[in-house]
Amino acid sequence: MHQRKNTIRLDPQAERVLLLVRWSVVPQYSEMTPAQARYWHNRKAGLLDVRPQTVFSVEDCSIDGPGTEIGLRIYTPRKPTGLFPVLVWLHGGGHVVGSLDSYDPLCRTLALLADCLVVSVDYRLAPEHKFPAAVNDCFAALSWVARRGESIIGSDPTRIAIGGDSAGGNLAAVSAILARDDGFPPLVFQLLVYPRTAPDEEFPSHHEFAEGYLLTRKTIRWFHNQYLRREENRRDFRYAPLICDDLSGLPPALVMVGECDPLRDDGIAYAERLQHEGNAVELSVYPGMIHAFFSMGGAIDAGRRAHEHAATALKRAFGTAPAQGDTPIRLKTK
């Protein structure tokens, strides 16, 4: 288990972001209604993210889900010359906030850097749709890509990855387990960015970074209370993949966490369990980083480095990593 450090220091760019947050005097989500939280989330979305990049196409569509239609946004990086590998992306937001629009710049970036289709999933949010609605929607979207993506969007059914950040990382981890158990073609990769994996909020990092590091313990508990249908849901692996009885036979994983994130130990513990049960795992702890740094590439250099790291890992999993000496893609900056 990760040992607490007494010398942890915030990255100066992350510290600047926290100062801007304090100056903004916007209440914490836990002090808002879900509708108000979504309003403020969408207003802030993109302010610190990378500049939106131009891709070949962006298309919105909907598919049949479990009792409802599920919206998808499909990013194609360049003119197709064959089947593309595909990343199914599940956005963060505590299962309460977040949208296709708020993650648009990030999805464009991942599509270009990894040279793959990105299918962003507009799963249902709590509290209107409590656990396991989001799980059901995400797995239905993944199943659709696996079974129909080749004929409809030109995706390669043998090169499918799943990924997400925070609550989306939780849903990606759960979807990978469900995909293994469902028996459709194995996923080639899972990208888990500061995933929430534990059944409670008691890892040391939840207490060490409870206040003053953007995502607070109070907000985490508020998100969970909105999402849970009943307290016993905490004992369901679809809520907390860390407690799944069997984590063997899962796709290779890259688990990325920030050192100063209350969810840090969730990600570390999950990476350790994946490795212990025989899976290929890379764990990357970003020094001095706060929660959501992956979506702050316009203000935090480590966010952009994390995009490149994720894309390189995806391309290796897809079998499309450039040969040594090839020129990597460079994105425009603000």
Domains and CATH numbers, the chain: 12-318 (3.40.50.1820)
CB 206 within 8 A of CB 262: yes
Query: Of the listed 102, 155, 166, 205, which one is catalytic?
Result: 166
| Separation of alpha carbons 29 and 52, rounded Å | 26
| Separation of alpha carbons 326 and 115, rounded Å | 14
Tens-binned pLDDT, residue by residue, of the chain (334 aa) = 444 444 689 999 999 999 998 898 788 899 999 999 999 999 888 789 999 999 999 999 999 999 899 999 999 999 999 999 999 999 999 999 999 999 999 999 999 999 999 999 999 999 999 999 999 999 999 999 999 999 999 999 999 999 999 999 999 999 999 999 998 889 999 999 999 999 999 999 999 999 999 999 999 999 999 999 999 999 999 999 999 999 999 999 999 999 999 999 999 999 999 999 999 999 999 999 999 999 999 999 999 999 999 999 999 999 997 644 444 444 443 3
Do strands 155-165 and 117-122 pair parallel, antiparallel, or not at all (unpaired)? unpaired
CB 210 within 8 A of CB 217: yes
The answer to whether 246 is a known catalytic residue is no
CA atoms within 13 Å, Cβ hemisphere of 267: 33
Query: Of the listed 206, 224, 291, 309, which one is catalytic?
Result: 291
Q: Which residue has the tokens 């990760």?
A: 2
pTM of this structure:
0.94
Helix (H, G, I), strand (E, B) or coil at 90: strand
The answer to whether 166 is a known catalytic residue is yes
| Separation of alpha carbons 326 and 331, rounded Å | 16
Query: Of the listed 49, 115, 261, 266, which one is catalytic?
Result: 261
The answer to whether 291 is a known catalytic residue is yes
Cis peptide before 241, with omega less than 30 degrees from 0? no
